[in-house]
Structure 1
């Protein structure tokens, strides 16, 4: 009946309309067959063209159809000194931010493009100069990190250091390049003005001592204007010692800065130790651990005793004059002396005393010095050097620390207390 109805309709319609009706029926039939086939193959009740399980064209995935995400760049930034900063101190650190600190590179260059030596702390994101920068100079900082595409993400910033101030502190070393000294010689640095305590730790950090072979040691402040360095035990014989003092531009007080840097390259000689006993009235001289001479001595009498303690030879004079008349116009004396070796600031020496040779080894008659004979005074003088050690024991007076280079007159634990880094 339905088919007859269709035919009747076709017969009653005009010829053109009848052709279009046949075409629509054929297309509908094809679509219906395709729909049934797709549903049967997919095992799904939902047609694929409505977003079903097989909605992705063959040979592709959903991820490949989505737009690729742009990789995130690792950002970097200089945080200090501020961009275009002026009057920056010479030892200022460069601080930066980075999302990839392990792969971040930092360079600092001067106006001529020369790279400045420094170290990068990638844990703290800080670049530190190896030495003070130049006064009134413009520097460029470049911080960079690689990207995933093999490119570089970088940032630059500039700053200018401070002008050279008028308030500069002179820093000097007692020792100089090429000197050879005894195993007890302290390294001595002096300052042109007092260094306040709050700046002393930074001063110590800038004074680096390197010994070959390596030896443990520390700085100790003797006063506000003087600091010494000694190893834990006497310097090893024949050591090489190098120290660099990088204080140019370092703040040494409120508004005061170090004037300059310096280095000293020196050496330690053979080991010579002199031991004086008041009990035996003898000096034992050891070189490299071996006794090479025993010398009769006369020490200070009861009214002017010699100091008991450990001292070092501070200076030597083959011939000099002891003059105490300025200190004591009544009882002072003025006497020519041979083979003098100073061991305290207060005026105690090892020296030849021909007038006391008859009692040397038996009785004390000096004004506090270690008297030896003319011949043995010369023998000893020809073999000692500045920094050689002398220890006196058994006298009525103890050596006061600070009365000479008394760095060895205290224990290592006591000595370390004079450092602001310990």
Structure 2
């Protein structure tokens, strides 16, 4: 079953019709002539005994304003509908209403928590139960204070057998770098014409507020980044209301997903191939400059903006499957921080200390002394950004978390729904 959102428009209180009656042209002329006659009479009787001075009671008065009555209607789910997806939202219209309320209850009379959106929809806090009857009531109240109501009783579908699992790379309580994208994956490819529905159920709340957008990396993965790096110490809550949501070919979302994380300090790394140095800043202040060695000409490092993907205090680099015999080796490595899927890391390289700050001798990694690698390892978090400048090769998008290697205009093109600038 394909459920599509209906775009709704509600008339605001500012659009109400004034209820004031108007005089006909004939009656208006007569009123003017009569008013003139009365004015002449009053002028002529200055010495008379008329002490009232108020004139007829109706002269100059306004007739009572007729206040419009509010109305309400529920457009979905339809009354008595069966097999409604558990992701169902209530869509409605209201007219001439100064206040609109939506209430949803199950068969036991228990209220379902939810949120009223500005586009004529109400969305439950979590997916509805399967095989359960609910009643939605929309109440619209106008200027006259009299409420108008609309109701719809519907029943959700049985639990589907074909479900899509939704997972997040990050988990509750993590502290990440200011370049960390929010990464959500699906256990099955989401058809292109369903991605807008899925994305509308994906919300991000950042404190302080920051503009951002979701970007579909592939049919099974979508990421979110702000317009600029996250601000230091930002609290981030994101919610994927996928439970019971149709996802194409008879598949439905398995469950809702929520994640609560935060960013740390704004630690940034900049590598300049010309100077052979890395500059490390925290919250805008330089805290260290480190001599480095990048990839030699046959195995150059990538220029672009990357973020730290993973950190390993001790690991082994094994490149014995490299087609070029000169690039095959097995080496114990300390303080390794991955930058690309292609194998570029920041790591300790005690064998190249004499070259660091002078020339490039690595296989594409950012080499530094063991002491400097250890110091940096203890400063960084997953998601901290690093910019490499001036090498022979440009970073390929997709070779790592390259969300920041794209301009904002490029990034918004990956959204399944039109981008609306903040403000």
Which range, TM-score by smaller chain? 0.7 to 0.9
What is the CA distance between 1:243 and its match in structure 2?
0.9
Match status 1:171 vs 2:166: yes
SS in structure 2 at match of 1:183: coil
What is the CA distance between 1:227 and its match in structure 2?
0.9
User: Which of 303, 314, 320 in structure 1 is aligned with 2:309?
Assistant: 314
SS in structure 1 at match of 2:373: helix
Q: Aligned equivalents of 2:159 and 2:72: distance in 1? A: 32
Match status 1:241 vs 2:241: no
Aligned to 1:63: none
Q: Are the structure 2 counterparts of residues 150 and 336 from structure 1 closer, same or farther at C-alpha, using a change threshold of 3 Å?
A: closer
Match status 1:357 vs 2:353: yes
Aligned to 1:391: 387
Q: Aligned equivalents of 1:149 and 1:297: distance in 2? A: 75
Larger CA deviation: 156-165 vs 79-88: 79-88
Q: Aligned equivalents of 1:220 and 1:73: distance in 2? A: 44
Count of residues in Structure 1 that have an aligned counterpart in Structure 2? 350
What is the CA distance between 1:111 and its match in structure 2?
2.0
Q: Are the structure 2 counterparts of residues 127 and 368 from structure 1 closer, same or farther at C-alpha, using a change threshold of 3 Å?
A: closer
Give the greater-gyration-radius structure (CA): 1
Aligned to 1:29: none
What is the CA distance between 1:310 and its match in structure 2?
0.7
Q: Aligned equivalents of 2:148 and 2:212: distance in 1? A: 45
Q: Aligned equivalents of 2:245 and 2:333: distance in 1? A: 45
What is the CA distance between 1:326 and its match in structure 2?
3.1
Match status 1:141 vs 2:133: no
User: Which of 339, 344, 349 in structure 2 is aligned with 1:343?
Assistant: 339
SS in structure 2 at match of 1:408: helix
1:127-164 superposed Cα distances (whole Å, 9 cap, x missing partner): 44343212111112335568999997766542110111
- Structure 2 unpaired stretches of 5+: 1-67
Match status 1:195 vs 2:163: no
Aligned to 2:177: 182
Is the helix fraction higher in 1 or 2? 1
Match status 1:404 vs 2:400: yes
Aligned to 1:281: 276
1:387-413 superposed Cα distances (whole Å, 9 cap, x missing partner): 111111111100000100111112111
Cα RMSD after superposing both structures:
2.7
Aligned to 1:231: 226
Match status 1:216 vs 2:211: yes
| Preserved contact between residue 98 and residue 142 of structure 2 (Cα < 8 Å) | no
Larger CA deviation: 156-165 vs 225-234: 156-165
- Structure 1 unpaired stretches of 5+: 1-71
What is the CA distance between 1:324 and its match in structure 2?
1.4
Aligned to 2:14: none
What is the CA distance between 1:189 and its match in structure 2?
0.6
| Preserved contact between residue 101 and residue 123 of structure 1 (Cα < 8 Å) | no
Aligned to 2:43: none
1:211-235 superposed Cα distances (whole Å, 9 cap, x missing partner): 1111111111111111111111111
Aligned to 1:85: 81
Q: Are the structure 2 counterparts of residues 238 and 98 from structure 1 closer, same or farther at C-alpha, using a change threshold of 3 Å?
A: closer
User: Which of 275, 288, 295 in structure 2 is aligned with 1:293?
Assistant: 288
| Preserved contact between residue 104 and residue 112 of structure 2 (Cα < 8 Å) | yes
Larger CA deviation: 301-310 vs 84-93: 84-93
1:197-254 superposed Cα distances (whole Å, 9 cap, x missing partner): 1111222211111111111111111111111111111111111111111111112223
User: How do residues 57-76 of structure 1 correspond to structure 2 at under 5 angstroms?
Assistant: none
Aligned to 2:367: 371
